[in-house]
Amino acid sequence: MKRDVTSRIVLQVTETADLVFAIAVASAYSATESLTASLDGAPVEVRELSDVHGGRLHRLTAEPGELVVEYRASVSDPATALETTETDLLVYGRPSRYADSDTLAATAAAQFGGIPEGRDLLTAVSSWVGTQLSYVPGSSLPTDGATQTLLARRGVCRDYAHLCVALLRARGVPARLVAVYAPGLHPMDFHAVAEAWIEGAWRVVDATTLAPRSSLVRIATGRDAADTAFLNVMSGRADLVDVEVSAVADVLPDDDLDELVAIG
């Protein structure tokens, strides 16, 4: 399956800023790609850094002005599988800032206590989250975690993913958040899904069901949105003006929700 992805981010920098972007496809892919940054039309130097699980960060310093960062890539081959260590499974079994599995332990036990670990639990959690929440753009804050999402009963993709991650961890299943490009997504944007360690591999959980799981292209992987945001302003000030994302596949597959799917 061939997938073409692009993103364009426009920022108004009002105080010299140290910025880190996570918009490039993970290093596990063989991709034809380009990334450029310009400040008021002049090129800006960008440094690439390695992140966990094959993620790639791009860091730059921008003086005040209009900053435009553009990325495009074409991916044809499946991603190379990366090793998962016992330490990884421990890290992704613990509570984290936005996936507070300890707070939701009682809820998870009440809803899923009779379901054994495995694909049945994965299906049950995904289905339950999908029916409990309403997808409402702009309804949540960037600081909302899984508990706030459950109480509000609405959110966007990252909220759905955080709640899935927290509930799965609460039932003893390692789970993590993945930022992806998602062919077929509407409205088009960066997308967030969960991954759970089931039957010896990471399986995709997308309770929004807004895009075929097998078409997803990994960008960044981590405990929650704190590890996978497309932009971090480390210092200074930069206001987001515009974000444009596209992701298309030459063949958009069907998605059987009962199947175990890995991002590849």
**Which helix (H) or strand (E) element contains residue 244?**
strand 231-249
Q: Are residue 135 and residue 192 in the same domain, yes or no?
A: yes
pLDDT at 160: 98
pLDDT band, residue 117 (cuts 50/70/90): confident
Confidence of residue 157 (pLDDT cuts 50, 70, 90): very high
Q: How far lies 162's CA from each of 9, 205, 235, in Å?
A: 24, 11, 26
CATH of the domain at 120: 3.10.620.30
Q: Which residue has the tokens 């959690």?
A: 125
74 and 102: one domain?
no
The CATH number of the domain holding residue 67 is 2.60.40.2250
Q: Check if the beta carbon of residue 185 is closer than 8 Å to that of residue 215.
A: no
Residue 36 is predicted with a pLDDT of: 98
- Residue 98 covered by a domain: yes
Domain count, the chain: 2
- Within-domain flag for 255: no
Q: How many CA atoms lie within 13 A of 262 on its CB side?
A: 12
- How many of the other CB atoms lie within 10 Å of CB of 28? 18
Q: Residue 116 belongs to what domain range?
A: 86-227
Looking up tokens 């791009």 gives 58
Is 112 in the same domain as 136? yes
Tracing tokens 């079994």 back to the chain, one arrives at 93
**How confident is the model over 47-74, as pLDDT tens digits?**
999 999 999 999 999 999 999 999 999 9
Three-class SS of residue 194?
strand
Quickly list DSSP for 113-180.
TTS-TTHHHHHHHHHHHHHH-EE-TT-S-TT--HHHHHHHTEE-HHHHHHHHHHHHHHTT--EEEEEE
Structure tokens at 208: 């929004």
Write out the H or E segment, with its range, that includes residue 89.
helix 86-91
pLDDT of 85 over the 90 cut: yes
pLDDT in tens, 198-248: 999 999 999 999 999 999 999 999 999 999 999 999 999 999 999 999 999
Asked, for residue 258, whether it belongs to a domain, the answer is no
| Residue 262 maps to a domain | no
Flag whether 256 is in a domain: no
Indicate the DSSP class of residue 199: T
Q: Is the peptide bond before 137 cis (omega within 30 degrees of 0)?
A: no
Same domain, 190 and 62: no
Is the residue at 175 inside a domain? yes
**CA 211, 216, 218, 224 torsion: positive or negative?**
positive
Is the domain of 118 the same as that of 207? yes
Closest CA to 196 of 177, 170, 220: 177
In angstroms, the Cα distances linking 208 to 56, 83, 103, 216, 218 are 26, 28, 23, 14, 17
CA pair distance 200, 60, nearest whole angstrom: 38
